[in-house]
Structure 1
């Protein structure tokens, strides 16, 4: 019988050459054309000749067997055939087939028997001997073999040379004592090798030259389907395992190649096989015979991006192992996969809110990275745990993103959509996440974050395709950060951020207020926007958090929970909050603190890049001017902006109806200061120079009610400890209201009829009888403060003023006149009951306080008089001029 192995082209590794494998100097394996899979193999033993036996390793697990070395000239004979036949088309004839199925015949180089006779070439080179015992004299081919052998002997070629050929026996090394040192010593330089065996598509056995190390090499960065060995010893191929093996075999088996040994983790040698016609690693990926492997791709020296590109090509074409592949973003339109957006807020170290060109807001998570986190249960036990400041490097990561991205336009490429997950045992629920690669100026933000050690890279299962399109760059960045000891990988002590949150802490805010007032404009970062005019600020220099209210404006209120129920949002409150968010959220701003309210919130002006936020809200018809703005330098600007919006009837002014001019003129002409003094009894003076009074007219009613209530309580005393205090409740303890409950032993009460405060035990409190509620008689203590004067900011100076006022008017009857409204209580002038002298005016004369300048026209006489007394001595004629008695 006769046959041939047809060449399919061998100008590149992608085109399949003839598959011929040389077992020894007298035996080869040939394959025909593949049809729907790997073709069957056929071993041909050369007739009438014998070449030396190749070295064989001892059987594993059998200690009695030993390694068998090469016979002299055996390897040279094999190499002679390998170089002559591998990748070439051959023709063969079968002369004898034994009972065991072994076939003997002749092999010719080329398409027919006219080509070079391989057996004759071996004998002629002295690399094989002729089996003369089976020669028949009438066979010319056998006779020619004998003649060629005689010529080789006379020429002393090969086996017939002097010395016996011991120098041709290889010193084969089957094992390496320290493979990691061996690989490192080569410094990733290409070394010559011959591929001796292909275990599967990505694992080969290679003979390293010239030192004859026989090593198993796994291709870096990829993994092909394998053959699983069952318990009974049989092998079950995974899908496409046989095809992948044949793909590698037919292109590399017994080829001269160069191998770069790249790493040796866990005694496994990783490498890349280079052939003049191509790189088998990339070809396996491109043809869908392999998938990328993260753990070994990092050592691939030819560029991991090439492997990802090859794998991506196979996925897009859905070839072989990717035939059922569905891309993570397959259901997204192109405009949803890649877009440009503006970063509005950094939510976390791996998430941000962006604004699309359509105006829609979208939360984007950075693909394949994990922000800094804290292990253990400490965060759950500590109710004051603040992730941004208490998790190491979380603040640094947030700040890196904030400074880099806030307000900037970025390119977003969606990598995958992480489906929503429900809560499980020990795991929280997560909503659906859009994970993307975000770049600005060509810089991958996630990679920059990882390279600084401010985030780590997520490790995935090998079959998990939902990952960053630049996953290898992230791994490389993390490796650099670990090597350089950056951020989370540093061995130094972690940074500690001691940030004091004084939001709502009235006492702390009082101590901090003078400092901020003296500082003028202070730097701040807007951490949160509660509403259009209410913000939380981080003060970097002072390392504290404060609640800040915009001065000079009256912004629509947002909806909020109140003790009486939900407060409905006022019109345009959401628009105002969105406007403030877009303008200042997480931006660096400057603030001027002017004052503070009762709740410990600071009031003042906020500037960003030369824009006054209060003015900007008024200009955009999202806020009205508050009367307190009259004393500020921005009053004219605010009024002018408000008037323009009123004329255009924009937003909050949409339903504005302008009053007739005549009415306005009439009212302005009639409005004058009214001096209507009424008798009051001063019951309490506070530390901030406010005071509480009772009307003398209702004093009799209060006394009568108190006597009746004392009598009823004496007759039916309440059970001690039966009352549980809650904030805002009215109770009895000389008729008081609960302001704060620290514990049953510390209840803060405010006496609604006198204005003083006290901390008492709940055992001293009882529920107020219905007959004596505030509906029967309203709270009698009314809070006021002095008109036309400024309360000293210095604590010592303020204490002197308070002492003076307490000494003069506390627990005495005076005359009181309301001059104008204030942010927290009315501003009044108060006179001594007997002399009718102005108490505030006396403080000005003594130099204890300064005059507060008011711009209302009807108050100018009083302001001028107060100011006059502040600068000059008081004279009788001056008093007469301003309508005051001596």
Structure 2
């Protein structure tokens, strides 16, 4: 009663799927999209049911095994029909829409009858209850079944049915070991669905692609993403129920990743080439069949803008070919991922290595621009750039990719991108593979060994240290050095590898044009050709290995001497190129004749600084600045911290109420919405909030990150420092940033006194200061500028006594004699205090035969 006879015309199409031994799906002709499909069930016969896995949502249900010969019948049809044209006639159609009929191999009904072939091989039963004696086709089925029984074929064989039931397993106890045992060995299998692959008892995922998918909505319906149906049809028409081989690539997080191999081609490559898929970056590193082919296929689809790439715009689409690829000379290595190069036009350009991140070459290099990272601003309302525009490129020299070399040695890591972010290195897969090797071999950043500490002492501007160091450099003659920085044409910072220290070095024998600089209350304008002189020095020596001869040092602790690079004296080179004049101090040097002849030749050529020599002789003008009077403008401050170097931090009393209100509001907000512990990733220079030992949160700045357990922070409102784990740090709420209220702790140093170089003496002075002024209110007056902070005098709020002068009078410190005329009254007062301490032989003056030159030489390590 649920079915009716339906004698229809013969129809046909390719066989898409064999569902069982007696049911197939036939595909129609595609018209503007995936074609329609029809399920045809073979009439008059019955085959065994295939195994079914119990729904995981119903744990009380059990898996259903194969019925005898069910799988063999399905395999018989699959090998016979998949991908081939079949013809069918529908005999019966149920009210539920299920169609039963006859299926023939080929384009018409003259082909092989599929039902008869199954019965003949003993793989199907005939439904005799529905047989009509006047139907010759049905009678023939009964005859063929009798013949199969007589021949004991298939299910009619004696005692053979139990061997036809598969022992299926739907999960693997240890997938990782399973993959390792078969790594890169082809596994025979058969594809069942578009997304998943079943190989014998194995499930695995395509490891390299991301295709458009069907999204399941809350109501259970599926919504296809653009081109999802087309991609599904593309894959099914080539792979579904085909015999394939699978390469097991990896097993992250207990999920098996594999690659499907087919005799007619690589479906992965075809999907990419036709624009149906994109490469998955994180798994490309484990691909063993040639990742470059996949990237090339994806690139071809992008260039043709097919399917998912129809709106694709290349990162370098707006660049001319000459801007995309060029040869340049390396001028400076800024850091591990950035270099400054000089183009043939003379222009300087900063290049960042694509797709790598370093931990915070001389000759020509080949540069291929991969993308330009646009400048970003600090916030939507700010026009101040947080990061300038970056030109990111692949840089190679001698056929070696610099970025890949860094990554392979564990000196940089590869950046992970969003799947739709195409701004990446053109050799991204090689970078991923190099990183995988570095991780496996424990190189550099990936090593489990303790990170070696490279200690470098910076004695630039440290007069006392420089004095101690000077005799060694003078006796050494020529010393090896590396130019770390060029301040001007004749002023450089050098790294001395043998002594592991940094020094400031001034070129001897020349007078180089001075660049612009800021001085207190004014800006010094650059002299002509100062920029050209600095550029000349940079191009010749920056970050190069050089040799230096140290002759002397100035009162600021800067060394003076001669610098040589590959036989060229830099002082002579500057003079010969009309970028410097000979200084009278060169007369006693062995290089004077060379300098004088070079200057004469440049003067005759009338180049650069000598261009107007005859027309307008240089006249030396002495500028006499009017001496100003010392101003005493004391203001109330609160001393919050005193450092081991005798510097101290203060807060202005006037803004103290603002800080208290801000801290109270901030802590209240944090208490209502506590930060997630461990969610903050500290980076050097970032402002954050840190939980102090008292359990309260304070504003801070990250100064150094050794590890997540050791982060150096500076409390910006109080001046103290601490090493804390990152779990005690959090993002600073925007309402309490330094834009709302500037950092309140200001650093100062004592005026008119010398900081003791002896650690024990200095520690005793610091202890006295901590006892007398820390966490107390004082009066402060700025006396003069210093190298790192202003130098001030400090008075006790109640007695108005000078704190620094008291230290001098107690014989705790020595006086620093200043030359400025307007400061002489204060200097005299301090010197009188020092004389009284000497007379009383207090503290450092307790030894009677002490000499001032000894103090200058050794700094408080006094003779008895």
- TM-score, normalised relative to structure 1: 0.69
CA distance in 1, matches of 2:36, 2:125: 30
Inter-CA distance 658–593: structure 2 relative to 1 (3 Å threshold): farther
The answer (yes or no) to whether the contact 2:15–2:24 under 8 Å persists in 1 is: no
The answer (yes or no) to whether the contact 1:31–1:41 under 8 Å persists in 2 is: yes
Question: Is structure 2 residue 70 aligned with structure 1 residue 74?
Answer: yes
The answer (yes or no) to whether the contact 1:527–1:536 under 8 Å persists in 2 is: yes
CA distance in 2, matches of 1:436, 1:659: 49
**Of 23, 32, 48, the match for 1:36:** 32
Q: What do residues 264-295 of structure 1 show as CA deviations (whole Å, max 9, x unaligned)? A: 22232211111101111221111111111122
Q: Give the drift of 1:760.
A: 8.1
Q: What do residues 698-734 of structure 1 show as CA deviations (whole Å, max 9, x unaligned)? A: xxxxxxxxxxxxxxxxxxxxxx9897532599999xx
CA distance in 2, matches of 1:126, 1:268: 40
CA distance in 2, matches of 1:188, 1:527: 49
Q: Give the drift of 1:653.
A: 1.2
Question: Is structure 2 residue 198 aligned with structure 1 residue 206?
Answer: yes
Question: Is structure 2 residue 301 aligned with structure 1 residue 301?
Answer: no
Question: Is structure 2 residue 279 aligned with structure 1 residue 277?
Answer: no
The answer (yes or no) to whether the contact 1:549–1:602 under 8 Å persists in 2 is: yes
Question: Is structure 2 residue 273 aligned with structure 1 residue 286?
Answer: yes
- Listed as ranges, the matches of 1:611-626 within 5 Å are 611-626=568-583
**Of 563, 583, 589, the match for 1:632:** 589
Q: Give the drift of 1:164.
A: 5.1
The answer (yes or no) to whether the contact 1:222–1:297 under 8 Å persists in 2 is: no
Q: Give the drift of 1:495.
A: 2.2
Question: Is structure 2 residue 119 aligned with structure 1 residue 123?
Answer: yes
Question: Is structure 2 residue 435 aligned with structure 1 residue 478?
Answer: yes
Equivalent residue number for residue 228 of structure 1: 215
Q: Give the drift of 1:564.
A: 5.3
Q: Which segments of 5 or more consecutive residues in structure 1 lack a partner in the other structure?
A: 7-17, 374-404, 661-719, 733-740, 766-795, 803-886
Q: Give the drift of 1:751.
A: 6.7
Equivalent residue number for residue 466 of structure 2: 509
The answer (yes or no) to whether the contact 1:745–1:761 under 8 Å persists in 2 is: no
Inter-CA distance 138–742: structure 2 relative to 1 (3 Å threshold): farther
Q: Give the drift of 1:63.
A: 3.6
CA distance in 1, matches of 2:137, 2:791: 125
**Of 729, 748, 757, the match for 2:816:** 748
Inter-CA distance 338–761: structure 2 relative to 1 (3 Å threshold): farther
- Listed as ranges, the matches of 1:240-639 within 5 Å are 240-373=227-360, 405=361, 407-424=362-379, 429-563=386-520, 565-639=522-596
Q: What do residues 160-205 of structure 1 show as CA deviations (whole Å, max 9, x unaligned)? A: 111151111111112222222222222331111112233xxxx224
CA distance in 2, matches of 1:752, 1:101: 106
SS in 2 for 1:429: strand
The answer (yes or no) to whether the contact 1:482–1:489 under 8 Å persists in 2 is: yes
Equivalent residue number for residue 171 of structure 2: 175
Q: Which segments of 5 or more consecutive residues in structure 2 lack a partner in the other structure?
A: 1-7, 618-777, 794-802, 809-814, 834-850, 858-864
SS in 2 for 1:324: coil
Equivalent residue number for residue 153 of structure 2: 157
The answer (yes or no) to whether the contact 1:19–1:250 under 8 Å persists in 2 is: no
CA distance in 2, matches of 1:273, 1:301: 12
SS in 2 for 1:497: coil
Equivalent residue number for residue 762 of structure 2: none
SS in 2 for 1:435: strand
Q: Give the drift of 1:135.
A: 2.0
Q: Give the drift of 1:3.
A: 4.7
Equivalent residue number for residue 725 of structure 2: none
Inter-CA distance 25–750: structure 2 relative to 1 (3 Å threshold): closer
Equivalent residue number for residue 144 of structure 1: 140
Inter-CA distance 190–571: structure 2 relative to 1 (3 Å threshold): same
CA distance in 2, matches of 1:289, 1:604: 67
Q: Give the drift of 1:604.
A: 1.0
The answer (yes or no) to whether the contact 1:221–1:298 under 8 Å persists in 2 is: no
Inter-CA distance 759–448: structure 2 relative to 1 (3 Å threshold): farther
Equivalent residue number for residue 726 of structure 1: 784
CA distance in 2, matches of 1:28, 1:723: 95
**Cα RMSD (Å):** 3.1
Equivalent residue number for residue 790 of structure 1: none
Aligned residues: 651
Inter-CA distance 498–261: structure 2 relative to 1 (3 Å threshold): closer
SS in 2 for 1:244: helix
Equivalent residue number for residue 84 of structure 1: 80
Q: Give the drift of 1:19.
A: 4.2
The answer (yes or no) to whether the contact 1:196–1:207 under 8 Å persists in 2 is: no
Inter-CA distance 489–742: structure 2 relative to 1 (3 Å threshold): farther
Q: Give the drift of 1:127.
A: 1.2
Q: Give the drift of 1:62.
A: 2.4
Q: Give the drift of 1:540.
A: 0.8
SS in 1 for 2:387: coil
The answer (yes or no) to whether the contact 1:124–1:151 under 8 Å persists in 2 is: yes
Q: What do residues 63-92 of structure 1 show as CA deviations (whole Å, max 9, x unaligned)? A: 443222222111111111111111111111
CA distance in 2, matches of 1:592, 1:5: 94
CA distance in 2, matches of 1:189, 1:633: 74
CA distance in 1, matches of 2:181, 2:174: 11
Inter-CA distance 730–524: structure 2 relative to 1 (3 Å threshold): closer
CA distance in 2, matches of 1:478, 1:760: 66
Q: Give the drift of 1:464.
A: 1.7
Q: Give the drift of 1:573.
A: 1.1
SS in 2 for 1:639: helix
* Larger Rg computed on CA atoms: 1
Equivalent residue number for residue 715 of structure 1: none
- Listed as ranges, the matches of 1:3-42 within 5 Å are 3-6=10-13, 18-42=14-38
Q: Give the drift of 1:548.
A: 1.1
Inter-CA distance 558–153: structure 2 relative to 1 (3 Å threshold): same
CA distance in 1, matches of 2:806, 2:379: 39
CA distance in 2, matches of 1:722, 1:347: 41
Moved over 4 A (4+): 3-6, 424-428, 720-724, 727-732, 741-747, 755-765
The answer (yes or no) to whether the contact 1:38–1:242 under 8 Å persists in 2 is: yes
CA distance in 1, matches of 2:524, 2:140: 112
CA distance in 2, matches of 1:761, 1:441: 68
SS in 2 for 1:460: coil
Inter-CA distance 503–751: structure 2 relative to 1 (3 Å threshold): closer
- Listed as ranges, the matches of 1:654-733 within 5 Å are 654-657=611-614, 725-727=783-785
Q: What do residues 97-149 of structure 1 show as CA deviations (whole Å, max 9, x unaligned)? A: 12111111111111111111111111111111222222222222222222222
